[in-house]
């Protein structure tokens, strides 16, 4: 462990371990298998990179993200670590070079795509060299229920038997109990020590609204909260993504599109620009994001519902990996929910898959319609308890006005029951409001006892109430494709008068708080410090361009801010800056110190 601490400081330039890092590293160093669940930005990479440097042999890292391997290897090279990767993007000659380095024992870390690792050729090569560990990154890809299922991940269980003495560490940022169990089962990790960090991303502010005109509201949000910061906007369709990007560009904010319908080189160019430049917005379908670990994404916005809470958590998790304040903003409409239900029902999938999918959608709708703390709701989904009142979500910051609607809820439930638990929202509302149309008369529903007893609310309010009853499990939507309603498991207490039911009174008006003043710390600098910060930032851009890496590989904004605050004058002082290990001080030290000295002259 002492070696580990030394490497943390000398190579990575960090002072102390975070969260579960030290426990995980200790276990791997002792040769034990590990399953590590840690949120995005929690610092998973160090958990295998440091043991790979401490233990003899090469650390083999399985990653599904080809695009990310290059970034990781670049970042490690910038720290002076000997790393390489093998995947389908690499030329045969380059592959030979990597393999030769591997055989000569000159690699600390080797990143490999899963399908390549399990080839007999690759396994054969690995048989003949000492291996420090296997790291299986994004381990949730073994889960067939998840949105990132990669069948070849299941073949990775071969590592357990073939390299019995080598510790394996599986890592993921997505893990509800089901996924966790699947990882353990599929990868033979029954004996692994499990480390579960809190999944709370405290620096993310969650905001969710329902209603019309999402695009205009998005613009108000961006203009008010993120006039400069980089962001990602997710849309459901390619066409929508194009349209929204045009809209933002017309508003004067540079936005690039990204979706599977674009030429591969256009996609690559847009992704590269997003990584390399400051303050760009990418408007994308979910095709974008796997493999984006740009640390300074300041907001992630959704213009429609994500697919599930896991997807929401993962997509919003791309914001603020650097730990600075950032926003997760979601606007959805009820028609999104209906669309998803139809997709699920009409898909070719097996029934149990459909049932799980509906359940996941229900949970997400529940989060969206919640009147309490979003963070508490979100974490509860991952079996994590949070006391609520987080102070950093829309509902905590501006509690929605609620109304005791227990009586109305009972009327609605009873109407669903009396009309036979098969009609959709519109019909149920018509009965409540006493609309004796032909269908209702034909069905005899103008004679049920709840006909016309709902005068206290209008049709829109009744629909909102029904949606919320669905969201909270008092009602369920039939899987018939027509949105029929039936009583849900949880409605009993409400019907018996043992529980109360509150509804949101109305959509919250857009916040008038003005800019929240939570922008990244560099925004808070004085005029004079700002000039130094900008000078350092241009130096960083030059250094990055010279090495063909994104600026954050040279160093993060956080480090620049620290340099501005502390004005280091010597190499030793630069060492004290977060993120500056030996190699970085050596490579960039002289130029950075010169900029600081010149600025203060």
Which residues within the stretch 23-52 sit at the binding site for Zn ion (CB under 5 A)?
none
Q: Look at residue 40 and give the partner it binds from ligand ADP, Zn ion, none, a contact being a CB closer than 5 to 8 Å depending on partner kind.
A: ligand ADP
Among 321, 375, 411, 504, binds ligand ADP (CB under 6 A): 321
Task: Give the gyration radius of the chain's Cα atoms.
Answer: 27
Q: Where are the alpha helices (DSSP H) in 90-237?
A: 92-103, 114-117, 120-127, 158-162, 177-186, 214-225
Distance CA 292, CA 258 (A): 13
Q: For ligand ADP, which stretch binds (CB under 6 A), given 14-22, 387-395, 433-441, 520-528?
A: 14-22
Applying CB under 5 A, does 574 fall inside the site for Zn ion?
no
Q: Residue 439 is inside which H or E element, if any?
A: helix 438-442
3-class SS of residue 40: coil
Residue 339 has a CB neighbour count (10 Å cut-off) of: 14
Applying CB under 6 A, does 295 fall inside the site for ligand ADP?
yes
Contact 197, 37 (CB under 8 A): yes
3-class SS of residue 328: strand
| Nearest C-alpha neighbor of 512 from the set 403, 401, 402, 397 | 397
Which residues within the stretch 380-439 sit at the binding site for Zn ion (CB under 5 A)?
390, 393, 396
Applying CB under 6 A, does 69 fall inside the site for ligand ADP?
no
**Nearer Cβ to ligand ADP, position 44 or 147?**
44
Distance CA 478, CA 487 (A): 10
Q: Look at residue 240 and give the partner it binds from Zn ion, ligand ADP, none, a contact being a CB closer than 5 to 8 Å depending on partner kind.
A: none
Least Å distance, CB 17 to ligand ADP, is: 5
Token pair listed for 526: 């004085």
Least Å distance, CB 136 to Zn ion, is: 33
Q: Look at residue 44 and give the partner it binds from Zn ion, ligand ADP, none, a contact being a CB closer than 5 to 8 Å depending on partner kind.
A: ligand ADP
Q: Look at residue 551 and give the partner it binds from Zn ion, ligand ADP, none, a contact being a CB closer than 5 to 8 Å depending on partner kind.
A: none
**Nearer Cβ to ligand ADP, position 182 or 557?**
557
Among 118, 373, 475, 477, binds Zn ion (CB under 5 A): 373
Distance CA 341, CA 236 (A): 14
Applying CB under 6 A, does 41 fall inside the site for ligand ADP?
yes
Q: Where are the alpha helices (DSSP H) in 42-187?
A: 44-54, 66-78, 92-103, 114-117, 120-127, 158-162, 177-186
Q: What phi and psi values does residue 219 have, to the nearest 5 degrees? A: -65, -40
Q: Look at residue 14 and give the partner it binds from Zn ion, ligand ADP, none, a contact being a CB closer than 5 to 8 Å depending on partner kind.
A: ligand ADP
Is residue 558 packed enough to be buried (19+ CB in 10 Å), middle (13-18) or exposed (0-12)?
A: buried
Among 40, 395, 414, 468, binds ligand ADP (CB under 6 A): 40
Token pair listed for 324: 């600075």
Among 11, 28, 44, 117, binds ligand ADP (CB under 6 A): 44
Contact 507, 210 (CB under 8 A): yes
Q: Look at residue 267 and give the partner it binds from Zn ion, ligand ADP, none, a contact being a CB closer than 5 to 8 Å depending on partner kind.
A: none
**Nearer Cβ to Zn ion, position 70 or 389?**
389
Q: Catalog residues that contact ligand ADP under the rule CB under 6 A.
A: 14, 17-18, 21, 38, 40-46, 293, 295, 321
Which residues make up the interface to Zn ion (CB under 5 A)? 373, 375, 390, 393, 396
């Amino acid at each position: 462990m002492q070696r580990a601490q030394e490497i943390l400081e000398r190579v990575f330039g960090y002072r102390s371990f975070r969260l579960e890092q030290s426990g995980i590293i200790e276990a791997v160093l002792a040769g034990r298998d590990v399953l590590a669940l840690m949120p995005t930005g929690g610092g998973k990479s160090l958990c295998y990179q440091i043991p790979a440097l401490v233990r003899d042999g090469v650390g083999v890292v399985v990653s599904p993200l080809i695009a990310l391997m290059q970034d990781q290897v670049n970042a490690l090279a910038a720290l002076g670590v000997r790393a390489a990767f093998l995947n389908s993007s690499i030329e045969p000659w380059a592959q030979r070079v990597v393999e030769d380095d591997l055989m000569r024992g000159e690699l600390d870390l080797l990143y490999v795509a899963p399908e390549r690792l399990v080839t007999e050729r690759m396994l054969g090569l690995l048989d003949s060299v000492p291996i420090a560990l296997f790291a299986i990154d994004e381990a949730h890809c073994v889960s067939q229920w998840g949105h990132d299922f990669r069948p070849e991940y299941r073949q990775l269980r071969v590592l357990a038997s073939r390299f019995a003495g080598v510790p394996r560490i599986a890592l993921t940022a997505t893990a509800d109990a089901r996924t966790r169990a699947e990882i353990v089962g599929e990868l033979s990790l029954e004996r692994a020590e499990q480390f579960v960090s809190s999944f709370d991303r405290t620096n993310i502010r969650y905001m969710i609204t329902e209603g019309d005109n999402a695009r205009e509201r998005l613009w108000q949000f961006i203009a008010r909260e993120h006039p400069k910061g980089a962001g990602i906007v997710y849309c459901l369709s390619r066409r929508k993504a194009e349209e929204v990007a045009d809209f933002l560009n017309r508003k004067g904010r540079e936005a690039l599109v990204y979706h599977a319908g674009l030429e591969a080189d256009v996609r690559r160019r847009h992704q590269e620009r997003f990584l390399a430049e400051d303050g760009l917005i990418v408007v994308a379908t979910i095709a974008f994001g796997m493999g984006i670990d740009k640390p300074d994404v300041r907001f992630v916005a959704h213009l429609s519902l994500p697919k599930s809470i896991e997807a929401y958590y993962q997509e919003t998790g791309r914001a603020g990996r650097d730990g600075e304040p950032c926003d997760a903003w979601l606007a959805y409409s009820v028609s999104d929910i209906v669309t998803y239900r139809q997709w699920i029902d009409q898909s070719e999938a097996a029934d149990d898959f459909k049932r799980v999918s509906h359940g996941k959608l229900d949970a997400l709708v529940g989060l969206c319609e919640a009147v309490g703390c979003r963070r508490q709701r979100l974490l509860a989904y991952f079996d994590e308890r949070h006391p609520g009142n987080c102070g950093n979500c829309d509902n905590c910051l501006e509690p929605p006005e609620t109304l005791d609607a227990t009586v109305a809820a009972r009327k609605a439930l009873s109407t669903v029951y009396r009309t036979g638990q098969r009609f959709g929202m519109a019909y149920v509302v018509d009965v409540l409001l006493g609309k004796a149309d032909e269908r209702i008369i034909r069905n005899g529903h103008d004679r049920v006892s709840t006909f016309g007893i709902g005068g206290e609310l209008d049709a829109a309010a009744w629909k909102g109430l029904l949606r919320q009853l669905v969201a909270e499990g008092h009602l369920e939507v039939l899987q018939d494709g027509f949105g029929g309603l039936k009583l849900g498991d949880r409605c009993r207490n409400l019907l018996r008068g043992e529980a109360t039911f509150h509804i949101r009174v109305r959509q919250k008006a857009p916040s008038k708080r003005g800019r929240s003043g939570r922008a990244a710390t560099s925004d808070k600098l004085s005029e004079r410090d700002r000039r130094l910060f900008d000078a350092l930032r241009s130096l960083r851009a030059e250094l990055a361009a010279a090495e063909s890496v994104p600026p954050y590989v040279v160093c993060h904004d956080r480090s620049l801010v620290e340099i501005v605050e502390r004005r280091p004058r010597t190499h030793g002082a630069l060492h004290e800056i977060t993120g500056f290990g030996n190699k970085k001080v050596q490579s960039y030290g002289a130029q950075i110190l010169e900029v600081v000295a010149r600025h203060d002259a």
